[in-house]
Every structure is written in C-alpha cells, then in structure tokens.
A and B are shown apart, each in its own frame.
Chain A
Amino acid sequence: MSGAVWRASRAAVRRRRLQTFVIGLVVLTSTVALVVALGLLDAASAPFDRTFDQQRGAHLVATFDPAKATDAQLAQAAHQPGVTDVAGPFAQVVLTAPPDRAAPAAGVDTPPPGPITVVGRADPGGPVDRVDVWSGRWVTGPGEVVVMRPPGEHWGANEEVGSRLILPGAPPLTIVGFASSLSQTAGAWVSPDQMPALHPTATQLLLRFAHAGSDSQVRAGLTAVTAGLPQDSLLGSLSYLTVKQDMTSTANAYVPFLMAFGVLGLVVAVLIVANVVSGAVVSGSRHIGVLKAIGFTPNQVVAVYLVMVLVPGVVGCVLGTVLGVLAAHPLLHMVFAGFDYGYFTATLSPWVVVLTLLGMPVVVLLAALVPALRAHRLSAARAISAGSAPGTGRGLRVQRRLSGTRLPRAVSLGLGLPFARPGRTAMTLTALVLGVTTVTFAGGLSSSVAAYTDAARDHVQSVSYVGDAGVGQVEPKLTDAQIEAKLRSLPGALHVTAAAPVELRMTGGSQVVRGWFLRGDSADMSSAMVKGRWMKGPGEVVVGTPFVRKHHLAVGDHFTLALDGRQQSVTIVGETVTGDADRVDATWETLTAFAPDRSSSRYVNQYWVQLAHGADVGAFDNAVKAAEPGLNPSESGDVNSVTVTIVGSSSVLTLLLTTVAALGVFNTAVLNTRERRRDLGMLKSIGMTPRQVMVMVVTSMAALGLVGGLLGVPLGIVAHRLIVPSMVEAVGSSLPAAMMQVWHAPTLTLLVLAGVAIAVLGALVPARSAARLTIAEVLRSE
C-alpha cells in the first residue's frame, strides 16, 4: 500500500469518526457472539473426541454370556473386515453393594450402594481402551484392585491407595491404583487370576470399527461380530455415541441457539458494513472525484475505502475476540460443570480464535468490496460535479402521492425519504428485520425454555436426606415410617414422598440404570407427561424421554430389571418430558416385589416434600432438623441452571444484536441527514420547525421499523420452530406441542412494535442533530 493511500485512508477514518465507530462496534458485537458460539460448538465435541482418541476408546463395549459363547468363539467372531482393533475377551462380574452402609473401619473402604462391574484385566494398555492409571499402579496379581474414578476424584472417606476395599461376595482387595476409562468399561479392575474367586457371569469384548460415525454404523459392526455366535449369547452392549451423548448433551443444547445468534450477528455486520461503505461512497463522491483528479488510480481509490473500513473492522475484531474469549470461559465452565466427569476440561480451542481473527476482517472486506467498486467505476468529472447532492428521479411517484395525503407534511415527507435511496433502505430494512427476528426468537426461546422448565420440575421444595454413617453423618433414630409421618405433620407440608434410589441392571443389556422407587404422594409431585400416565401399581414404571431414546423403548413396552439376582418384568406406562437417560421411576410395590423377604425401607435415602403455597422452605427445613437430627434437609433447586444460562445468554445476545440493528438505523439516519442537509436547511428556511424536522427524520426510520417488524416477527417464529426443538433434541428430551405455542396476539403486536422502537431509537440522535442544523451555514456551504 502506498503512503498516499494510507494517508488518504487515515484522513477518511478521521473524517467519518461516527461511521468508523459504528463499524467497530458492529464488528465487535458480532465477533463476541461468534467466538462464544464457535467455542461452544467445538467444546461440545472436541475434548471428548480428543480424549477418546488418546485412550483408543472402544466404539462398542459388548458383553456375552460365557455359557453360550466361549472366549475362543468371541476371539474368532471379532475378526471381521470392519473391526480394526479388539481387546478382550475379559471376564466380568457385577457385584451389588448393599444400601445400608456401615461406618467403615480405618483403612477400609466400602463402595457406594448399587452394582459395580468388576473386570479381570492384566494390562491397562492395548489396542483398545487404554485405561489411564492416574494414581498408584495397575494390578499385578490376586488380592489387588484398581478402582475406576475420574482423575482427582474420591468417593469414599477412606478411599486411597493402600486401603482395603470390601466388595460383596468377594475377598478383601487392596486398592493399588485409581484409573479412568472414557469408555466406562468397568467400575473396578482386578487381575485375571482373581476372577475365578469372584465367579464371573459375563465376558467383555472391546471393539473399534473402521466406520463408527453414526449409531447405524456401530450397530452394523455389532451385527457383523455377533452374526456367527450362538443365539442370545450377547447380553448387552454400550456404544461410545451413547457415552458421548451423556457427557455432552447439555453443551449440545446451547449450540443451536448460539450458532443462530452468531450467524445473525454476522449477517447484520455484513449489511451494516456494506451500508456504511456504500453511504461513504455516495456521500463522498466529490472526495472520490478529487482523489482521481489528483492522480489516484481507480484501484487506489478502492484501496482507500477498503482500508478505511478495515481499520475499525480489525480493531473491533481484536477487541471482540478478547471479549468473546473472556465471555466463553465462564460459560464453558458452567455448561460443562458436572458433565465432564473430570475426563476432560472444556477450553476454548485456539482455532476458534485464529479463525475469528482472520475470518472477520475478510468478511468485512468482502462486505465493503461491492460498494467500494462503485468508487472504482465513478468518473472523476461526474463525481466532482455531483458533489453530495442527492440524485434525482428516485421515489418521485411515491413522494408525489404522499404529498397529496391528509398526513401532516412532516410525516408524509418522512415516509417518502426511504424511497430516495432504495439500496440503502433495503440494507437498513434487512438489518431491522434481523433485529426483530432476533428479539422474536429470543422471546420465544425464553418462553419455551421457561415452560419446559416448569413442566420438567417435580414440584419439590424440600429434600431431606437420610444421614449416612459411611461418610460420617448422624443416622436417624426414627424409623422410615415414623420419619414420613413426622414430615407430614410438620407445618407447611402438603405432599411427602419417600424415595429409594437403587442401582439395577436391565437384563439383555450390561448397563446399570437407577431405579427410583417412590412411596407416598409421587403422583401429585411428578413432572409433566409427554405420553401415558403416572404409575399406579406393581410392575409399572415411568421414564423420561432421554431413557426412551437411549434404550429404544416406548410407552407400553416391557423390559426386565434385575436386583440381587432377582428379576422382574416392568411396563412403561408413562413418559415425562425430562429425566435421566438411565433413570426409571417405579412404584413402592415394585421394590417390594424384588425382595419380599427384606425390608424395602432400608433403601430409602431421601424424602421429598412439596410445601403449601406461601410456606417458608427455610423454616420448614429447620423444623425437620429439630424433629430428626438424622435428616439433612435442603432446599430443592427450583430454578434450573441450564434455563438460567440459556435465558440469560440469549437475553445478552439479543441486547447486543438489537443494539447492532439500532446502530444500523442510526448509521442510515445519519447518512440520510447528511445528504439532505441542504433540503433540511431549505425546509427550515421556509418555516419547518425543529420538531417537524425531528418528526420527519424519525418517521422515515419508524416506517422502516414497522415493515421490519411485520417481516421479522414471522421469521423469528420460524427460527423458534426450527431451533428450539433441535435444542431439546440435543439433550435427548422432547417438547410437547403446547410448549411451542408461546405466541399470543398482544405479544406479537409488541414484537412488531419492537421494530419501530429499534428504528426510533436509532433515528433519534441524528434527528435531533438535523433539527439543530444551522440553516445559514448549511445553505451557504451548499
């Protein structure tokens, strides 16, 4: 770039301080939205994929019945064309820890209640599932165990290397290490020599396939492997896609709407940059003529205009990237908190920053190129003679018709102004349409998410946890029945449910599910149903949509649950809008049927209480603690953090994009006002009052705002209909149609008026400056 071009560009930047500021701010805002959206998109899959690749994770964990398929048969079956790597067969047993956990002695650890899968494995490495031993060492012989834990986590009070682990039905084992497996192939590993003493019930095979990008590909791989094996030898399987979905579903919920905001921001930025440069070319045509007259080549003139835009564009991009990175970190932390299981840390990838820093200026340049090329084509003589006077012949018929209406003249003149520059009007209108689309979409998103949260919550205000001696807590003195009766008698209690979470196995599958056996008023405290009804009798269960999707079941289907070697067939009678993919809600009678000879009460570890309207949760919890010190009451989180984050971040992004749209209008109003300085001066000279000037300028933009509102609202509704279901889909849930019906006539009217409000806000400042124009100066300078 020659010095002359740089000097001319610098002068142009100084001369157009306002436009420079607008471009910088618009690019900054769009960049922030884009960095956050891309960062989240990347974080939703990249860390899992990276860790999965490092560990050579198993695409499929399959368990077989050793009585039906021998190790030799399994090894033979795994040699299929599509199978790239195999680990195993490994002997496997599922041991179930009892719910009544006694206080452990020093140096002894007992696992939490529920089943624990123990696998005999000689080596943590190998071609598949390279287990990460992050503390201690791997087992070398009988009597040793490595416990599966995410890095840095311990679950028991005495859980440390060197302590003894008491597993039900197994001799005491010494913990020699802690390890993690992203594929979740076991809860504990022992030496293969140890397994005969544990009486293995299954054989585990870990597989990697050449093609495993989709569920169908993984299923096809499994079908190929099991094709030659005896019938019913497969007990169950777990796809890595299911594990990935479990870990990243919350982040996935954010991606669709953040991407929508990012794209909207980008489009608005392109429009506004093009509008600014176009305006600069039109209003600066005399300047272009002068540049050409003194020897600038057409390309140099184009370069002047591109550099003029690039300076604020780059500054906005750099600042936007910094702000985006700062905004993305807490968001990523919040989104992945509790969902990454410590396997990976969600961080903003460098490629997001690099792509944004390089891409945004390119977008800005491309947006400026078309109008800048007009400067290239403009002849010097014509440019100089044209000056800044407006062209003729545009929108004349419209002006003529408007002048004959009964509208006040300031209003009719204002209504005619947009027709004078149809190109600029179109770009401003598009920015307004996108602004209203954003407001509409964000409003619908918030309403649907709020409706979903309301339907999903289980109307529990207080949860009282039973003290666990295993972790050093005081145990209750009252019996289960006495506690329930006591809670019902406390002031404010409306409904009480005793809840017994029990780890169960679904037969036909290796996966553990958590059964919530409920006693009391669960029907009055349940979340909204998508299909079916609430459970009533023995063998009836209710599950959430994530469970239905994961296990490919539906309302009316039967499946078998196993606990302590007993099996029971259950029927899905209802589907709730939310819930865990591995959670089954069942009646108390179902738990009793599992173990008729034992007291089911020992499984109860919490009591849910719904309080009467207006009751004080804190006072109730204090009363619980006073009545039974062995209970640990706590307020049930009424507000879902995901909801708060989605509503909060969409509100912030809406505010940003609305500001950008208003800036677009502001820019157009400024350009129009500047171009029409002579007309405004003349109108004032024949008696137009400052108020009439303001009315004229504001009307010109308000009219666009109204059209923007009328077009933007339907587009926002369409965006809502497309994006919200995909968000809910991403978390493996479903949204009843009623929750999408968030639009009502008053709301729609207000949304249409939002376009007018954006336009009026953007036009007010230029209108005021137009009203204050010094007539003598304007008319003299022209």
Chain B
Amino acid sequence: MISEDGSEQVIVRLDGVRKEYGDSVALDGVSLEIRAGEAVAVMGPSGCGKSTLLNMIAGLDRPTAGSVFVDGEDLAQLNETGLALYRRRRIGMVFQFFNLIDDLPALDNVALAAQLTGTSAAQARKRALELLDELGIADRRNVYPAALSGGERQRVAVARALMNRPALLLADEPTGALDSHAGEQVMDLLIDLNQIGQTLLMVTHDPRLATRCASRLIEVADGRLVRESALERTP
C-alpha cells in the first residue's frame, strides 16, 4: 500500500503509549510505526508487555496515556461499540489457544465474523468456504473444533481473522500451542499471507517464528521497546 508521496502507508502508529495496572506499569511510553505490508514480530520475556501492546492495537484494552492510531483511526475517540466495529472491519486476530466456538463447525466459525456485519448466511458461508479452501482445510469444513487437530484449528482461526479482509492481522503466540509440524504449517501460512500484502503483527516467544515470518523485529523489556531490527527471512 503506497501513499501519495510514494512512501508505504503507516497502518499502525503508537505515540508514547503507557499502560498501568494498579501499581505495575505494563507499557511505558511506547512509540511505534508499522507500515502497510510489513510483517513485524514482537519478542521479549514473559510479562514484558508484549500482549498488552497487542491488546492496545486491537482495541481490546485502552492505554492509560498516549495515543494509538490504526489505519487512520484514533482508537481513543471510539466508544465500546465503535471499537467493536473497528475490530470487525479493520483487524483480524489469531490467538494462541484458537478461541473457536465449540458448538459450531469450522465453516460456521469462520462465517460468523462476516455474519456479525449483516452479511447473509449464504454469502458468509461462500466466502468462508473459499478461505478454508485457500488454507487447505475445505474438506474439514463440517468438523467441530473438538475433532480438529491443533494446526487445523489454528488455520480455522486464521480464516476467521481474514474473513472481513482486515487491514492488519494480529497474532498472539500463533504457534505457542502447536506441535512443531503444525507450527511449521501455520508459519508457512503467515508467510504466504504477508507475501500477498497482508500486514502482520505477531507476538511470540519463538525466535524461529520471528525469523521465518517477520521482516522486522521489535524487542520489549519492562514495558519499553529496547531494540528494533530488520530481519532477513530464513527459509
């Protein structure tokens, strides 16, 4: 995505974001920009503020101070409903533990995201089936989450995240709950998505995931960005 002046458009901009939980400071003056088409990995020790950073960008939590702009939208200006619509239209989220609805088969889990926007059931299912097909699990569309493997569940979760064509895909430890084989499959999927232009921000403990999928690495410690570096993707 190229802006009028020829530079790549900034999708995410954080200015001096601070987040406190009681006496503890989870984020301390974080400023950050992510441009369209980038794949950014956030790494750091447990409790350093990685997930909090992701939640701020996803609009799941509000900063104590500072501002968060995503795709031109100032999240501080949005109320709860506005944030819900923002999540629905602008971002997609992938979780470590998938967070699928156990009562719905794979296809309906994916279609759900579109149906919330008012898309008809038939259209939503058509689009969901296309996505499942692209991710290679169309044959598992009528299977319930309990009967899917970990890798399959995460693919369903990714399909759901992509359902409304988000500007930004957020992934929180996307391979954290998977065995190495399934983890590889998900990594390949994320690389493919980024290569077709999907902006990606992932939080991970796994250096392999970062080096394989991301073009930029941000390291966090004690709520601050301590280092930022470009990455050469390893095959």
Q: Is the CB of A685 within 8 A of B99?
A: yes
Per-residue contact bits, chain B 86-117, to A (CB 8 Å; 1 contact, 0 not): 01110011010101111111001001110111
Q: Is the CB of A775 within 8 A of B116?
A: no
Residue B230 CB within 8 A of the other chain = no
Q: Is the CB of B160 within 8 A of A686?
A: yes
A389→B88 CA distance, assembly (Å): 25
**CB neighbours of B58 from chain A (8 A):** 685
Residue A545 CB within 8 A of the other chain = no
Q: List 12 A-B contacts (CB under 8 A).
A: A392-B145, A396-B144, A400-B104, A400-B108, A403-B115, A685-B87, A686-B92, A686-B93, A688-B88, A690-B81, A690-B84, A780-B51
**CB neighbours of A685 from chain B (8 A):** 58, 60, 87, 93, 95, 99
**CB neighbours of A391 from chain B (8 A):** 102
Residue A655 CB within 8 A of the other chain = no
Q: Is the CB of B102 within 8 A of A392?
A: yes
Q: Is the CB of B146 within 8 A of A392?
A: yes
Residue A404 CB within 8 A of the other chain = yes
Residue B211 CB within 8 A of the other chain = no
Residue B164 CB within 8 A of the other chain = yes
Partner of A691, one of B81, B87, B115, B145: B81
Partner of B99, one of A393, A405, A416, A681: A681
Given A400-B105, A686-B160, answer yes or no on A776-B61 (Cβ-Cβ < 8 Å).
yes
Min Cβ gap B178→A in Å is 17
Residue of B92, B115, B146 with most partner-chain A CB within 10 A: B115
**CB neighbours of A564 from chain B (8 A):** none
Q: Which residue of A lies closest to B142 (CB)?
A: A400
Q: Which residue of B lies closest to A777 (CB)?
A: B61
**CB neighbours of B55 from chain A (8 A):** 775-776
Min Cβ gap B159→A in Å is 12
Min Cβ gap A772→B in Å is 8
Q: Is the CB of B51 within 8 A of A686?
A: no
Partner of B121, one of A406, A689, A771: A406
Partner of B144, one of A392, A403, A409, A688: A392
A562→B102 CA distance, assembly (Å): 87
Residue A679 CB within 8 A of the other chain = yes
**Which 7 A-B residue pairings sit nearest by Cβ, starting from the closest?**
A687-B88, A689-B84, A409-B115, A682-B99, A776-B60, A776-B55, A392-B146
Q: Is the CB of B99 within 8 A of A420?
A: no
**CB neighbours of B122 from chain A (8 A):** 404
Given A406-B121, A776-B55, A782-B97, answer yes or no on A687-B103 (Cβ-Cβ < 8 Å).
no
**CB neighbours of B125 from chain A (8 A):** 404
A168→B118 CA distance, assembly (Å): 96
**CB neighbours of B95 from chain A (8 A):** 682, 685, 779
Q: Which residue of B lies closest to A396 (CB)?
A: B103
Residue B85 CB within 8 A of the other chain = yes
Min Cβ gap B176→A in Å is 13
Given A404-B121, A779-B99, A780-B51, answer yes or no on A687-B84 (Cβ-Cβ < 8 Å).
yes
Residue B120 CB within 8 A of the other chain = yes
Residue B139 CB within 8 A of the other chain = no
A771→B102 CA distance, assembly (Å): 20
Q: Is the CB of B101 within 8 A of A687?
A: no
A406→B123 CA distance, assembly (Å): 11
Q: Is the CB of B117 within 8 A of A687?
A: yes
Q: Is the CB of A395 within 8 A of B103?
A: yes
Q: Is the CB of B121 within 8 A of A686?
A: no
Residue A692 CB within 8 A of the other chain = yes
Min Cβ gap A680→B in Å is 10
Q: Is the CB of B116 within 8 A of A690?
A: no
Q: Which residue of B lies closest to A682 (CB)?
A: B99
Per-residue contact bits, chain B 75-89, to A (CB 8 Å; 1 contact, 0 not): 000001100110111
**Interface size, B (range):** 35 or more
**CB neighbours of A376 from chain B (8 A):** none
Partner of A678, one of B61, B99, B105, B113: B99
Q: Is the CB of B120 within 8 A of A687?
A: no
A681→B95 CA distance, assembly (Å): 12
Given A392-B144, A687-B88, answer yes or no on A399-B103 (Cβ-Cβ < 8 Å).
yes
Residue A390 CB within 8 A of the other chain = yes
* B interface majority secondary structure: helix
Residue of A390, A394, A400 with most partner-chain B CB within 10 A: A400
Given A400-B104, A404-B121, A420-B103, answer yes or no on A684-B97 (Cβ-Cβ < 8 Å).
no
Residue A201 CB within 8 A of the other chain = no
Min Cβ gap A408→B in Å is 8
Number of A-B contacts (CB under 8 A): 109
Min Cβ gap B73→A in Å is 14
Q: Report A's interface with B, CB cutoff 8 A.
A: 389-396, 399-400, 403-406, 408-410, 416, 420, 678-679, 681-692, 771-772, 774-776, 779-780, 782
Given contacts A395-B103, A776-B61, 16 further A-B contacts (CB under 8 A): A390-B102, A403-B104, A403-B111, A404-B122, A678-B99, A683-B112, A683-B116, A685-B60, A685-B93, A686-B87, A686-B93, A686-B113, A687-B87, A772-B80, A776-B51, A776-B55
Q: Is the CB of A687 within 8 A of B99?
A: no
Min Cβ gap A720→B in Å is 40
A253→B111 CA distance, assembly (Å): 61
**CB neighbours of A420 from chain B (8 A):** 103
Partner of A416, one of B81, B92, B93, B103: B103
**CB neighbours of B161 from chain A (8 A):** 686
**CB neighbours of B121 from chain A (8 A):** 403-406
Q: Is the CB of A692 within 8 A of B104?
A: no
Q: Which residue of A lies closest to B121 (CB)?
A: A404
Q: Is the CB of B116 within 8 A of A409?
A: yes
Given A687-B88, A776-B55, A779-B95, answer yes or no on A679-B108 (Cβ-Cβ < 8 Å).
no
A685→B113 CA distance, assembly (Å): 10
**CB neighbours of A772 from chain B (8 A):** 80
**CB neighbours of A679 from chain B (8 A):** 101
**CB neighbours of A390 from chain B (8 A):** 102-103
Q: Which residue of A lies closest to B54 (CB)?
A: A776
A779→B5 CA distance, assembly (Å): 40
Q: Which residue of A lies closest to B117 (CB)?
A: A687
**CB neighbours of A782 from chain B (8 A):** 97, 99
Q: Which residue of A lies closest to B79 (CB)?
A: A690
Q: Is the CB of B113 within 8 A of A687?
A: yes
Q: Which residue of A lies closest to B161 (CB)?
A: A686
Min Cβ gap A522→B in Å is 71
**CB neighbours of A689 from chain B (8 A):** 80-81, 84-85
**CB neighbours of A684 from chain B (8 A):** 84, 87
**CB neighbours of A403 from chain B (8 A):** 104, 108, 111-112, 115, 121
**CB neighbours of A780 from chain B (8 A):** 51
Q: Which residue of B lies closest to A407 (CB)?
A: B121
Interface positions, chain B 168-185, Cβ under 8 Å from A, are none
A169→B13 CA distance, assembly (Å): 116
Q: Is the CB of B102 within 8 A of A686?
A: no
Q: Is the CB of B89 within 8 A of A687?
A: yes
Q: Which residue of A lies closest to B80 (CB)?
A: A690
**CB neighbours of A774 from chain B (8 A):** 60-61
A496→B186 CA distance, assembly (Å): 97
**CB neighbours of A683 from chain B (8 A):** 101, 112, 116
**CB neighbours of B144 from chain A (8 A):** 392-393, 396
Q: Which residue of A lies closest to B99 (CB)?
A: A682
Min Cβ gap B89→A in Å is 7
A775→B170 CA distance, assembly (Å): 15
Min Cβ gap A93→B in Å is 88
Per-residue contact bits, chain B 111-137, to A (CB 8 Å; 1 contact, 0 not): 111011110111001000000000000
Q: Is the CB of B60 within 8 A of A775?
A: yes
A391→B102 CA distance, assembly (Å): 8
Min Cβ gap A675→B in Å is 11
Min Cβ gap B158→A in Å is 12
Min Cβ gap B52→A in Å is 8
**CB neighbours of A406 from chain B (8 A):** 120-121
Q: Is the CB of A688 within 8 A of B51?
A: no
Residue of B51, B55, B85 with most partner-chain A CB within 10 A: B55
**CB neighbours of A688 from chain B (8 A):** 84, 88, 116
